[in-house]
Chain A
Amino acid sequence: MKWPKLRAIGPSLWGIGVFLLVLGGLAPWIPRFPLTILVNLLIFAALAYSLNFITGLTGYVNFGHVVFMAVGAYTLGYTVGTIRLHPLGGVALGGLMALVLALGLGAVTLRFRGVYFAIASLVTPLAGLNIVLVLPALGGGQGILLNIGFDPLSWFYTIWAIIATEVGLTYWITHGRLGYGIRAIKSDEDAAKSLGVNAPRLKLFLFALSGLFAGATGGVYAWTTSGVFPEAAFDLTFSLRMLAMIVIGGMGTLLGPLIGAIAVYLPSRFFLTIFIGTESIIIGLVVIVIALFVPGGIVGTLRKYVPELRRILE
């Protein structure tokens, strides 16, 4: 059966595709310092896309997303540190470990709805931190220090590939039958079930995807910082920043996470030296203002008020 396209196909996907191709082509010529900034930006974009799978598409707010990132980071730290695995292998394994964790966690926590899920999700990074602190193999409170060198171009292409996959998957999932099912769940889960949408399985699928990509990105992050440190790996403000990105960019949209990542990361990068310590306050205020007045985020609001853009932005 032919499913009608939920939105006009294309321009946004094309746009992101061209953007990524241009970046990918230019990367070897970008000087090292700007390239590391770009890598950091892309790491945030990849995290935002990973969170978008569950929180953006289904509306299940996950405060504990950072736990997947931490699992990915620790997996890379451990495998590269002890068995001298190539960092790329560490990234892949990190994604897999986070995927397994997501399946286990999601099987339990996705039974909660709304605010109860959000609360349950908040607990997992706290638990993760306390578990890691007592595991000597993971360095306990010291963390793991790696010596894997400075290789921005490899970081770049790895994170680049992760984002390209995320964007492609997001597009594929939201266009077609699955997309209808997911919209139905976001709008009214019981009604969706009554129509035959296998909500538990669909949610778990999205949660697992979100874990997989957050884990892989966490691996890349550990690679760029050449180490993993418990307090930083399980830092809840990472979760909040990812949430801020998709809220500001536009929840559940294709462009939103990228735009949100740019909108949050670049200013915070510049303000870092000016307003030390107030960065979180500023991001928090912006999120409150957006949630109150423009709940659709940048993409959703443009779509709402500029009809001409509806065919282009998604």
Chain B
Amino acid sequence: MLRLDGVQAGYDGTQVLWDVTLAAEKGAMTVLIGPNGAGKSTTLKVINGLVRPTRGHVVFQGEDITRTPAHERPGKGIAACPEGRRLFPLLTTEGNLRLGAYPKGARSSADETLTYVYELFPRLRERARVKAGRLSGGEQQMVGIGRALMSKPSILVLDEPSLGLAPKLVSEIFVKIRELREAGLTVLMVEQNAYAALRIADFGYVMQNGHVVKSGPPNQLLDLEELRKAYFAIP
């Protein structure tokens, strides 16, 4: 469904990604893991269009979208929940969610999608009139995911959904993400919390220093002894 082919990218002359090739299959949950500074978030910025690759291609549903501007990508079906949520603090929960239905194709069905998001995260219905800046970290993450869902995406792209959350909330959020995947949504998730991410994934890529160094089904990645030690320090 979504493919990166030999992508090289960076910021102002500092190259971050060196030949990244990966694919997110339709209906599957793909995770991208790796330590800090491996280039995971940059990879996602290439996917949502905020960073232009200097070389390589981004292909979505058979269409080359390498040069498609960021604001046109949600309309094509790519919904991103950026790192640190990036909510609009002065808008209410519902305002943030409704902004997610900004692309043309999502406007007419926004009310139904909103109901769906509220069913997925009942807590958000209670907090609908509260300014997003006043929500707790977990609630903000729910808004971030909900806002991405509002555009009725074909693929949901999540950047570090566990960032800054208590362990209990992390597993709650991950259960919800897995639910979305069970409901048929394609998910691509970047995570530092490799262990938790691999447990709900169908396929994983490991990044280090701007390269994809390993890929495979989660059990294979978890079994790699040296990976555990080198990247994740999981005993």
Residues of A within 8 A of B (CB): 1-4, 6, 177, 180-181, 183-184, 187-188, 190-200
Q: CA A1 – CA B94 in complex, angstroms?
A: 14
Minimum distance in angstroms from A58 CB to a CB of chain B? 13
Q: Which A residues touch B72, using CB under 8 A? A: 196, 198
- List B residues 96-117 near A (Cβ within 8 Å): 98-103, 107-108, 110-111
Q: CA A214 – CA B75 in complex, angstroms?
A: 35
Q: CA A93 – CA B111 in complex, angstroms?
A: 44
Q: Among A2, A177, A188, which residue has its beta carbon within 8 angstroms of that of B102?
A: A177
Given A1-B107, A1-B108, A1-B110: A196 and B89 interface contact (C-beta under 8 Å): no
Given A1-B107, A1-B111: A183 and B88 interface contact (C-beta under 8 Å): yes
Q: Is the CB–CB distance between B88 and A184 below 8 Å?
A: yes
CB closest residue in chain A, given B114: A1
Minimum distance in angstroms from B48 CB to a CB of chain A? 5
Q: Which B residues touch A6, using CB under 8 A? A: 95
Q: Is the CB–CB distance between B103 and A191 below 8 Å?
A: no
Minimum distance in angstroms from A80 CB to a CB of chain B? 43
Q: Is the CB–CB distance between A190 and B86 below 8 Å?
A: yes
Question: Which are the 6 A-B pairs with shortest beta-carbon distances?
Answer: A196-B74, A191-B86, A196-B103, A193-B70, A187-B88, A196-B102
Interface of A is mostly: helix
Q: Is the CB–CB distance between B98 and A4 below 8 Å?
A: yes
**6 pairs, A vs B, C-beta closer than 8 Å:** A6-B95, A184-B99, A194-B48, A195-B99, A196-B72, A198-B72
Q: CA A187 – CA B86 in complex, angstroms?
A: 9
Q: Which B residues touch A195, using CB under 8 A? A: 74, 99-100, 102-103, 147, 151
Q: Which B residues touch A184, using CB under 8 A? A: 88, 91, 99
Question: Interface range on chain B: under 10, 10 to 19, 20 to 34, or 35 or more?
Answer: 20 to 34
Q: Among B90, B102, B111, B147, which residue has its beta carbon within 8 angstroms of that of A197?
A: B102
Q: CA A194 – CA B72 in complex, angstroms?
A: 8
Q: Is the CB–CB distance between A197 and B89 below 8 Å?
A: no
Tell whether B166 is near chain A: CB-to-CB under 8 Å.
no
Q: CA A191 – CA B50 in complex, angstroms?
A: 9
CB closest residue in chain A, given B101: A1
Q: CA A188 – CA B80 in complex, angstroms?
A: 14
Tell whether B71 is near chain A: CB-to-CB under 8 Å.
yes
Q: CA A199 – CA B50 in complex, angstroms?
A: 12
Minimum distance in angstroms from A299 CB to a CB of chain B? 15
CB closest residue in chain B, given A3: B98
Q: Is the CB–CB distance between B99 and A193 below 8 Å?
A: no
Q: Which A residues touch B204, using CB under 8 A? A: none
Q: Is the CB–CB distance between A187 and B103 below 8 Å?
A: no
Tell whether B82 is near chain A: CB-to-CB under 8 Å.
yes
Q: Is the CB–CB distance between B71 and A191 below 8 Å?
A: no
Minimum distance in angstroms from B181 CB to a CB of chain A? 21
CB closest residue in chain A, given B81: A194
Minimum distance in angstroms from A177 CB to a CB of chain B? 7
Other A-B pairs beyond A191-B87, A194-B49, A200-B71, 10, CB < 8 Å: A177-B107, A187-B91, A188-B86, A192-B71, A193-B50, A194-B48, A194-B50, A195-B147, A197-B71, A198-B71
Q: Is the CB–CB distance between A183 and B71 below 8 Å?
A: no
Q: CA A65 – CA B8 in complex, angstroms?
A: 40
